[in-house]
Structures are given as structure tokens and as C-alpha cells.
A and B are shown apart, each in its own frame.
Chain A
């Protein structure tokens, strides 16, 4: 009886496991297709462009949905789904003219009504409070479709970033598919109706996302028939597969600097430093806490730190010291070259501290404030992120050298967030991603405006440094409302001068984004835009079939001209094993268990058998 119950339990469990595991089983690809295989981290939240957060899923959302304007890697706006856009003389009306012959993935035409519907969803619907993360509703008067292809957006007041948000951030969505759903909880993971160059085929959780070429794409059908985006639980496994040639490129993740030497040993792998995006690392001072409230004290700390050394040591050279004006060289014309950064100058740092009266009076090697408090601080950072911990350690070391006892305190993400938010910290080491494709207002307004800096104890937004400067507030407001790019640039430059002078938070270095791709299967990679960017993927084609005999290997040099820029793709050795006269069926090889493994398993089984035999033998 008890046995029967046990058997039922075990059987039930086994069935549950096999059903669950078998759910991930994928079907066979059709042969003879041109398949581009990308690898990316398995971070998929949803395919809803209005609420998605993750960068990895964001890549897929970006491929599925076209925006009205595409931001090129040098920051220029390329009309994309919009054929053209214009701003009227009063700078209050933006007009988008849609392309002819653009269709949704289900075959229905993309109309101005869809654009109106989408923008209204964000700025003027029941869902607005949950969708309008950018406060656009405060600036948009109305959105109106004038005809089938023309949309007019009327602004309430001058707002420079409006074009960025409407044109490049919010992709038009099909009204016929979205009018009945709740866009705040819509996952959009089953047959999303997109507008981009690739259509959604299927998502196999934890395994892959497959996209197929959009036959009716208004910019011409991509030459790649199918994109298989393989999902990886760890970047280590992803890099191994890139090296093994199982994927053609990586996306939504970067190569760890220490892995570059291993990767470039393979002549078919190119490692590229992206120019349009990088991550800023900085230390924020608690400007409401003495002595961080003293500008000169903050400057002394800035002089104590050797930014170049962090780049050398922690980033192994794959980065650069960051401009102290907060806006970085990658932002192109928006970056004020005069802002620059303070090179390490320990004498200068100690001079400033001496002048401020922060002197070591009791001879223990640590300075005290004029009223006798010891300069002992903690650098708060997130535990578990090696780069942060290491850089913070280095910073602490340099502060010790000028007589400030600094130690690193690593805490869980939530703790750090909370403590910085309510101002319970001295120095916080943090990082943010930056990209030229995002309007500069996004990086400076909330970060330094005094409206975002409530008193200590109340959770602050981005300005957790609690920096308040009426002069800067005025500049930040003005640049937002300046519709003339040249005048606005001047204001943004002034903002950077103020920030570099006051150092409410000290920028340390930029971590460059390193990506990698393989060169032997595809030609047409546009490194400048990012090898896996939409523009680059649209340009990819299978390397022309080489008529080669079995013995011949030869070298091919490829150059590609795109928009005036000549991109030289690497010298590549063409091998007979890889290329045949007809396009290779690119379905990945079927799984085979190598003979060695079987042998290994056999050995283990034999060993276990021997053991059982030993056990059964009489003494």
C-alpha cells in the first residue's frame, strides 16, 4: 500500500518534470535560409515598447518596431518611418510626414491615425499616469492626424527634447491591435504586430527568440532571412559560443576587457569599441553633509584621484577619464571640451585641505576638521559588482594618501538605493549608461535640478547629491526651452562649466562598450553604428559564395562605404570547410553527444557496477 502511494508520487513528479522540461523543445529550422545568429543575455521582460525596461528585450523591441526618426551613432536624426519632419516658425508645432507603402507586420497600412493613437495613449489617455514616464503630458497640447500620412503635435510651450521623445523614443503602435488591450500590463509576447525589418516568429523561454525577414519592409527586404537570437544565462557561455562560431555576434551585452586578448586570437573575430555609447562611473558627494558641502573640499578630493590609473587598472585601458562637466565627448557637439577633468595632483589636494584648516592635529595620519572631527568617510557602493568594488577600493586608497580615512562599504542594491535616496551616506560610487541617441536634457536636468533634491530624510530622485544652485537651475530650465540648437548648445556648455567648477558629483571614467562579431559568414557589418544595430543588420548579406576548390584558401579584404564613411572590414582568410559553391544551409548542427562523453559515462557506469559487485560479494 505504501509502495503504491510512493510510486504514484514519484510518477507524478517525473511527469511534471518531463512536461516542464519538454516545453523548451524547439522545432527544426528549414534549411537553405540565411540565418543570422546573435547571442544576448537572457533578460526578457516583455515586448511592449511602452513599458519594457530590459536592454536585451529592448534590442528585440527595437528591431520589431520602427520609430519615426532613427538616431545615428553620431547623433544626427535620420527620418525613418517618417519620410520627413518639420518644426514650424513658432517652434510649437511638430509635423511628421509618414512614408508611403509602410505596412504593419499583419499587412495593414501604417497610418497617421496609428501615430496619433500611440502618442495619445502616452499623453492623453486613462493610462497616461502609468505610461508617461517622461512628463510629456505637461508639454503636449494635442496630437492630431491631419490626413492618412501627416501627424501634427502641438506643444504647450517650447520644449527642446520633444522631438527626441516623440520621434525616437516612442515607436508608433498599430491601433487595431492595441485599442482593446491594457497597455500598462500588455506583454505583447504572442505575435506582436510590429513595423520593423523583422517579424516576430517565436519566443522559446530561456532558449531563443526567432525573427523572420519582413517581406514588405518599406526600406527593402533584409537580405537576412531569419534572425535567431540565442539567450544566454551567463556571458561566459556566450563568449565561448562566439569563439566556437555558434553565433555571429553578441548584442545587448559587452565583452569584459580581460577577455579581449583571448577573443582576438581568432582572426575571424572583430572586437569593436562602440563610439556612441559608454557607461559613466562617478562618485556622488552628499552636498548636504559637512564637509562635502564645501566646494573646495570636493575639489581637493577630485585632485586626489588618479582617473587614468583606474582606467588602466580596472578597465585594462578600455575606457577613458570622464569629463567633469557630466556631458561626455560621445555626445558630440553637446560636450564642452573646456570642461575636461582634473589630473591627479596630490600636492594641490593637500594644499587645499591645509588651507581649509583640515589638518592632522593628533599625528595619527588622518586629518581633522577645524572643530576636531576626524575625516573618516565611507564610500557606499553596490556589492556584487566587481568593477564598482574595485574602483571604489582604489578611490579609498588615494583618499587615504591625502589624510582622509576612507573605507569601502558595499551593500545590497536596495540598501544603496535607499540610503542614497534619503541622504544617509558620505560618498556614493555609482554608474549610469550614456548614449548619444538620448537627448542631453535626460542626463542633466533631473540629475542636478534643485527640484529633485528634497531635504535629507526624504527620498530624492536622481539628484541624490542634493546639489542646489539657482544659477544652474535657471540654465537647466532655459536649455529645455531653447528650440534653436546652436543657442541651446551654448547653454548646455555653460551647464558643464558650472558642474566642472562645483563638482557636486565627481565623474571618474567612462567604461567603453566593447562588442564583438565574427566576420566569416556575413559581410556588411557597420561598426560605426554598432554591428548589431538596425542599420547594420539591414546591410548584412551572406558572404558571396566563393568558387573555391578544396585545397585553395585565400585572403579577402572587404571595404564598405556607408553614408560617406568607409568602413574597412577585416582581412579574412576564406577556408574551404566554411564556404561551398552554394549557400550553406545555415541550420545549426543537430545535437550530438560526443563519443568521449559516452565513454566517460560508460566508465562511470562500469565503476558503479564494480562497486555493487564488491558490495554483493560475501566477506
Chain B
């Protein structure tokens, strides 16, 4: 059973990986347009430049050679040069932005899921009470709010009217920081608005899922047994929560898998120097090398997140065990 489980997970992960890697090669190249001529027209360069750039970027090679080179570049880590930012290397560009995305998205994932699950557990535990009704209703109302709209509204309030929070960037631009501590404070200060805006909208789905799962679990036999045995409520709650958190944790794992790719809008609204905007730009400019690297990282995070989800299942649900007890 265990072997079957592991094998099927492995097959699924490989499938996801190859689908992403293949789509990433095929889709941008199927798109009309040529990276060299896009840049040449964008910057009003002489027509001759197109030919020059195509040779330089090896775009004049047959497609199968390009594919082999693509697969090679992925596995050797030689991601090469960006087209748009030529001759800066893809590695350099990605490493400049990835940490910011991880910081922003990591923080929001934590706050969103934490806040959402907390409220969900509370609502589910007090099912039918006024607490439940108010939490659930407000989550339903918040669920449909576009987060970038809330972000714009908050930018207006805190940035333009009250002028207390920065509306853009990850650090104050061009600022010299007196100490590393102040730098950290500055980073956190800039993190406040994006994290708040996303948390206040995205928490809702976690709350709803957690609440429903909590309600389901509370009706299960083992809870009745526990109650009948006269276990203290605190202990019962602990057991219930442990089981009820499976669905929201799965959601969290899926979210973690999407953090690299899902950041485009937030990063656009807040001019955050993350990788989301780089991916968007690379799609528009057909910057293949950057896309290759970005999607490779995407594939890796997705797989890691899935793995994480499985681990979480094991951690939370005692019925699933991958490792034999010692």
C-alpha cells in the first residue's frame, strides 16, 4: 500500500513537472512574434539588428536543436542570457527578485492561512451561534472582493490621505539605512500594506473551508465517543482541530506551490520587485531564457508544495503514516 502510494505520488509529480516544462517550451514559441524583432521595433533600431540578435541568441537554429538546448540548460543550470536585459544573465535577474517574492508571498501565505484557519475553527466549534454567523457571513462577503481593488483602496487611505504607509516598493528607494536593523524595519514597513490587503481578502476561503471541515469532524463518531467518555472540551477540540485542518492545509500547500507564479497582480499594484512581474514581462517580450528558468522554478515549487502537502497529511492525520514507527 505504502509503495503504491509513494509510486503514484512520484508519477504525478513527474507528470506535473514535464507538463510544465513542455508547455513552457511550446506555448511561447507557438505565439506569433519573434523576440529579436520585438526589441528592435520597441527601441526603433535599424532592421539589420534583427538578424544580428537572432544569430546572437541562436534563434536561427532548427526547433529540435533549440529543444535539446532548452532541456540541457534546465538540467545543467546554465540558464544563459536574458534577451530583454541582454547580456545580463537569467540567474542574476532571477536571484535579484526571487527572494522578494518569497518574502512577500511567504508572509501573506502564513497570515492568510493562519488568520483564516483560526476564524474557521472558531466558527465551526461554535457552530450555529452568533460568533459562527458573524464570522461566516463576513467571510462570504469578503470572499468576492478583488484583493487588488482592496489594495488600491488601502493605498488611497493609508498612502495618499493619511500618508502613514508606503504604497510601493520593497524598501524606500535609494535610501541609505543607518543600520541593518533599520533596513529590516524598512522592509517590514513596506511589507505591511500588501500583506494586509491580501490577508483581509484571501483569508475568507480558508475560513469557509475550515469551518465546514470542522462541522463535519464534530459530527464524527470519535467525537461522540470522546464526549461520552467525559473528556474535557479542550482535549476534544484539540482532536477535532487536528482532523479538521486537513482540507485548509491542502489549500495552503497548493497556494505555496503557486507563490512564484501567483504574484503578478500584487507585485504590479505595489511595484514590488518580485519575480511575478519579471515573468509577465518575459511572456510579453518572449524572453525565452527567463521564461525557461522561471517555469523551471515554478515546477520545482509546485512539486515541493505537493510533497509538503503529503507530509502535512502525515503530521496532522495519525491515520496516514509513511514511516514505520520505531
Q: Do chains A and B touch in the complex (CB under 8 A)?
A: yes
Distance of A227 from chain B, by nearest CB (Å): 11
Instruction: Please choose the segment from B3-11, B69-77, B139-147, B165-173 that sits at the chain A interface, where 4 or more of its residues have CB less than 8 A away.
Output: B165-173
Q: Chain A residues near B52 (CB, 8 Å)?
A: 129-130, 133
Distance of B153 from chain A, by nearest CB (Å): 15
- Are B46 and A134 in contact, CB atoms less than 8 angstroms apart? yes
Report the interface size class on chain A.
35 or more
Instruction: Please choose the segment from A415-423, A564-572, A576-584 that sits at the chain B interface, where 4 or more of its residues have CB less than 8 A away.
Output: A415-423
Interface hits, A39-87 → B, CB 8 Å? 39, 42, 44-46, 48, 51, 53-54
How many B residues touch A, CB cutoff 8 Å? 84
- Are A612 and B284 in contact, CB atoms less than 8 angstroms apart? no
Q: Convert A387-424 into 0s and 1s, putting 1 for each residue whose CB lies closer than 8 angstroms to a CB of B.
A: 00000000000000000000000001111111101000
Query: Quick one: which of A247, A417, A601 contacts B192, CB cutoff 8 A?
Result: A601
Given known A53-B39, A611-B118, contact A2–B173 (CB-CB < 8 A) = no
Interface hits, B92-131 → A, CB 8 Å? 92, 95-100, 102-103, 106, 115, 118-119, 121-122, 125-126, 131
B228 interfacial contact with A, CB 8 Å: no
Interface hits, B176-196 → A, CB 8 Å? 176-178, 180, 182-183, 185-189, 192, 196
B50 interfacial contact with A, CB 8 Å: yes
Please give me the residue from chain A that is nearest to B232 by CB atom. Answer: A618
A433 and B45 CA atoms in complex are apart in Å by: 11
B164 interfacial contact with A, CB 8 Å: yes
Given known A413-B38, A432-B44, contact A16–B99 (CB-CB < 8 A) = yes
- Are B185 and A593 in contact, CB atoms less than 8 angstroms apart? yes
- The A/B interface has a contact count, at CB < 8 Å, of 229
Please give me the residue from chain A that is nearest to B56 by CB atom. Answer: A130
With most chain B CB atoms within 10 A of its CB, the pick from A6, A233, A415 is A233
A262 and B10 CA atoms in complex are apart in Å by: 58
- Are A51 and B87 in contact, CB atoms less than 8 angstroms apart? yes
Q: Chain A residues near B46 (CB, 8 Å)?
A: 133-135, 442, 446
Q: Chain B residues near A600 (CB, 8 Å)?
A: 164-165, 192
- Are B87 and A46 in contact, CB atoms less than 8 angstroms apart? yes
- Are B38 and A20 in contact, CB atoms less than 8 angstroms apart? no
Query: Quick one: which of B33, B173, B177, B323 contacts A590, CB cutoff 8 A?
Result: B177
A233 and B273 CA atoms in complex are apart in Å by: 7
Query: Quick one: which of B39, B55, B180 contacts A129, CB cutoff 8 A?
Result: B55
- Are A45 and B33 in contact, CB atoms less than 8 angstroms apart? no
Q: Chain B residues near A189 (CB, 8 Å)?
A: 88
Query: Quick one: which of A42, A233, A247, A591 contacts B182, CB cutoff 8 A?
Result: A591
Given known A45-B86, A233-B272, contact A594–B164 (CB-CB < 8 A) = yes
- Are B32 and A588 in contact, CB atoms less than 8 angstroms apart? no
A241 interfacial contact with B, CB 8 Å: yes
A246 and B175 CA atoms in complex are apart in Å by: 9
Distance of B181 from chain A, by nearest CB (Å): 10
Given known A417-B33, A591-B172, contact A612–B118 (CB-CB < 8 A) = yes
Query: Quick one: which of B55, B92, B173, B286 contacts A230, CB cutoff 8 A?
Result: B173
- Are B171 and A24 in contact, CB atoms less than 8 angstroms apart? yes
A462 interfacial contact with B, CB 8 Å: yes
Binding site for A on B (CB under 8 A): 31-35, 37-39, 41-50, 52, 55-56, 81, 84-88, 92, 95-100, 102-103, 106, 115, 118-119, 121-122, 125-126, 131, 162, 164-165, 167-178, 180, 182-183, 185-189, 192, 196, 233-234, 271-273, 277, 284-286, 308, 311, 314-315, 323
16 A-B residue pairs with CB within 8 Å:
A5-B311, A17-B106, A21-B170, A25-B177, A25-B183, A129-B55, A186-B87, A236-B271, A241-B173, A412-B33, A413-B33, A413-B284, A414-B32, A417-B41, A590-B177, A614-B122
Extra A-B contacts (16), CB below 8 Å, given A591-B175, A593-B189: A24-B171, A28-B176, A45-B85, A130-B55, A130-B56, A134-B48, A231-B174, A414-B32, A414-B286, A415-B32, A417-B33, A418-B34, A421-B37, A446-B47, A461-B50, A590-B177
